[in-house]
Structure 1
């Protein structure tokens, strides 16, 4: 569709020429086109500009998990002497990481719900990893060796307890005294539930 150009009357042209002479142009080359009719859009009044909508408020971030704290020295001494005991214990011996993780978080949630303050989590000590057993053909390691991943839970349970998922449940943890399992167990302090 072709746009029709609007022509100015002689009176409009005279008025335009008079106004154009009183204004200093930005560039001298623009004076050459004064006799040409102005496009209709240039003569229309400017449209009011709508203010930009305010940006939506940023979503509130959940508070950072509280830091882990060591077990108090007085309580630690009592545990070492046998004068204090844990209120519950969880044995993770022989479990896969997936099952152990589920049981650990469930156990800690129940302990928190029951108002417990100190529990023991038994991971097992593991042991030195021996050479892989070989298949009868001696070509590839035997992958179902039950001793191939000994000590995995002893390594990963402390890592799990440091995760944000556990921080609402755990105040702190450390290796248990020899009488409670030593290097194969952890004392875990349970955090009181937050008020809603």
Structure 2
């Protein structure tokens, strides 16, 4: 396979192009481009850089539909309504006293269940962690630090539209407002 300006593509580049060409959806009214047939590769040792390039670009070549949706901050109007008590929180989960793995599983199940019920705003109480110094290597406020990280993970992004620290009346720094995405119904 030849590239523009007379350069010849390496076998790794050609394999990458064939992989990308198979994943591309043609424009309406256009026929799909068939990738060139794969010639029998000569036994050669692949260089580390070309293997890394193929791996990196194959991750980037995934269809856009698999990409996690972006997070959005909670709108100012909604925050004001929450602060004034004009808008209530639809559901609450308290993660106090749970270990990280228990809290993570409980949070995932809670968010899936609440999205199915049509919940718009959920309150996730993590606790602030105590002011006392940690003893014997124990960390304080682990859930307070980990829950925002979990909410940003790709497994929860289809559920979570955005999140922010709660107002003082709902727990302040020890709680988060989580805005859930609407569950899309798949029609015919």
User: Could you say whether these structures have the same fold, taking a TM-score greater than 0.5 normalized by the shorter chain as the test?
Assistant: yes
Task: Show the counterpart of 2:150.
Answer: 160
TM-score by length of 1: 0.61
Task: Show the counterpart of 1:82.
Answer: 85
Task: Show the counterpart of 1:122.
Answer: 125
2: CA distance, partners of 1:154 / 1:131: 15
- Which segments of 5 or more consecutive residues in structure 2 lack a partner in the other structure? 1-17, 25-61
- Equivalent pairs, count: 129
2: CA distance, partners of 1:80 / 1:131: 33
Task: Show the counterpart of 1:98.
Answer: 101
- Which segments of 5 or more consecutive residues in structure 1 lack a partner in the other structure? 1-54, 133-140
Within the alignment, does 1:66 sit opposite 2:56 as a pair? no
2: CA distance, partners of 1:78 / 1:194: 26
| C-alpha distance after superposition, 1:64-104 (max 9, x if no partner) | 11110011111100111122110010000010000000000
Task: Show the counterpart of 1:173.
Answer: 163
RMSD: 1.9
Show structure 1 runs of 4+ deviating over 2 A. Answer: 55-63
Contact between 2:111 and 2:159, CA under 8 Å: does it hold in 1? Answer: yes
